[in-house]
Amino acid sequence: MARFAANLTFLFTELPMLDRFAAARRAGFDGAEILFPYDLSAKELAAAAQAAGLDFVLLNTPPPNWAGGPRGFAAIPGGEDRFRRDFDRALRFAQVLRARHIHVMAGKGEGPAARATFVDNLRWACARAPHASLTIEPINRADMPGYFLADFDLAAEVIAAVGAPNLGLQFDAYHAHLITGDVAGCWDRHAGLVRHVQIAGAPGRHEPRVGDIDYADFFRRVDAAAYRGWVSAEYVPRTTTEAGLRWLRGTAA
C-alpha cells in the first residue's frame, strides 16, 4: 500500500503553515508536500515536519514569486539562466527539507524549440543533482492555459530523451482525467515511469471521494503495479479539511 501525504498548500489552510504539519499527522497522513515553500524558512519547515513525524515529500520549481506569474521556465527558450538559478535555489531548499522529489515545472511553450529546451534543461538538472529525484508532471490546459507539458505520451518521450535515472513521472490522477478521460488506461501505460502520485476529485478538484474518477479502482491499480512511493492529496476541500477525510480513513482501513 502506498503512503499518503498531505499537500499543505491546499489542506489545513485555516492554520498557519508551520502548524499544518501536526494537523496532518493527527489526521492520519505520513508525509507532507508544499508547492512553493520559498517564502518561509527551510529550517523552520524542516523542524516542523520532524516534530510532527512527517516526511517532506515534494516541492516545485520555480521560486520565489509565483503568484500570478509564470509557472516554470524549463521549456522556455531563452530562459535557461533563470531556470538554472531557480533550480539551484530549489535544490538548496530540498536538501534542508530532505525532500523526496523536486517537481521541475515546464512553463508555457509549444513546438520543437520548447521541447528541445525542456530536454536540455532537464539533462542539466539531472547532472547537477544526480542524487536528487526529479519529476515532471503533465498539467491540463484548462487549468493552466499554454502549459507546455500537457500530454502523458510527451512526458514519456521527454523522460526517454533525457535518459537520466533520477528523472521520473509525476502522475496526477486529476490531470490525467482531464487530459485523457481515461485515468486507468493512462496509469496502465505509464506506471513504470511514475515516481510520485497526486489525487483530487473531478470535476472541481475536491476530495477524491465522489465524481468522475473511480478511485477505488485507481488505488487497486496502484497497488497491483507494486508502486511504493507517495500518494499526495492535492485538492481543495469542500468545507474544512477534517470534514472531508473519510476517503483517507476508508483507504487506510
Residue whose cell numbers read 506569474: 69
Set 14, 80, 157, 234: catalytic member = 234
In 3D space, the residue among 197, 55, 184 whose CA is nearest the CA of residue 137 turns out to be 197
- For residues 30-68, one letter each, b for 16 or more C-beta atoms within 10 angstroms of the residue's C-beta and e for the rest, the string is bbbbbbbbbeeebeebbebbeebebbbbbbbbbbeebee
Set 14, 33, 44, 137: catalytic member = 137
For residue 95 the three cell numbers come to 536538501
The residues, ordered by sequence, that sit 6+ positions from 127 with a Cβ below 8 Å of its Cβ are: 164
Catalytic, 234? Answer: yes
Q: CB burial class (10 A; 0-12, 13-18, 19+) of residue 222? A: buried
Q: Are 34 and 17 in contact (CB under 8 A)?
A: yes
Q: Are 165 and 200 in contact (CB under 8 A)?
A: no
Question: Which amino acid, 122?
Answer: L
Catalytic, 137? Answer: yes
* Residues identified as active-site: 137, 234
